[in-house]
Amino acid sequence: QHTDYGPGRIEPETIRFEAGKWKGNLQIFRAGKKVRGPGVTGDVWVRVNDSNIFGESNRFVALPRPYSKIITIVPGQEHVPGSITGKSGIALDQQANGQFNIDIYTTDQYWNQVSTVNTSINFTSTDGAAILPGTTPLSGGHLIAPITLMTNGIQTVTASDATNPSISPGISSPI
């Protein structure tokens, strides 16, 4: 799977052609960023490779599924929609008593940002002395929040939906 924003994940990853044809279902995991509408050219497509021969599907719109969880991205990491973990990179060490920003995304079950979500986020940390934002509004499915960890050692930050406890919270990678 390919998108205008980077590669995606697809199942099955390998297919077998019979007499030059294949028929079956594909599961696309990475949604695009465009919405359906008249004259909209999609931002997702599928490419098939066989040695030196390849083909591509028409572009189409792949929408995220319903909002079901939060992902917390810390410095050194990148949000990767449609991937297994939703992120890549290694969390960078942070100095105690030094402020840094984290990114909070509202996502579907495959880590695709659900940009229609407007909610409030609560923050907690394994560092009981951390300086965290209070309940903070999130709009458009994304929030950048300042964090200050005060205690040396490995810590995490958790972002949870203050208005909907059924949403899975986002626990950061160890910092």
pLDDT in tens, 112-153: 999 999 999 999 999 999 999 999 999 999 999 999 999 999
**Alpha-carbon distance 86 to 109, whole Å?**
10
Residue closest to 80 by CA, chosen among 91, 68, 89:
89
Q: 124 exposed, middle or buried (CB, 10 Å; 0-12, 13-18, 19+)?
A: middle
pLDDT for 27? 83
State the pLDDT at residue 14: 80
The rounded distance, in Å, linking the Cα atoms of 53 and 44 is 20
pLDDT, residue 47, reads: 78
Q: Which of 109, 100, 112 is nearest to 172 (CA)?
A: 100
Largest Cα span, the chain: 66
Can you give the C-alpha Rg of the chain in angstroms? 19
pLDDT of residue 160: 98
Q: What is the pLDDT along the chain (175 residues), one digit of tens a residue?
A: 677 777 778 788 888 778 877 788 888 888 877 777 777 677 787 877 776 777 888 888 888 999 999 999 999 999 999 999 999 999 999 999 999 999 999 999 999 999 999 999 999 999 999 999 999 999 999 999 999 999 999 999 999 999 999 999 999 999 9
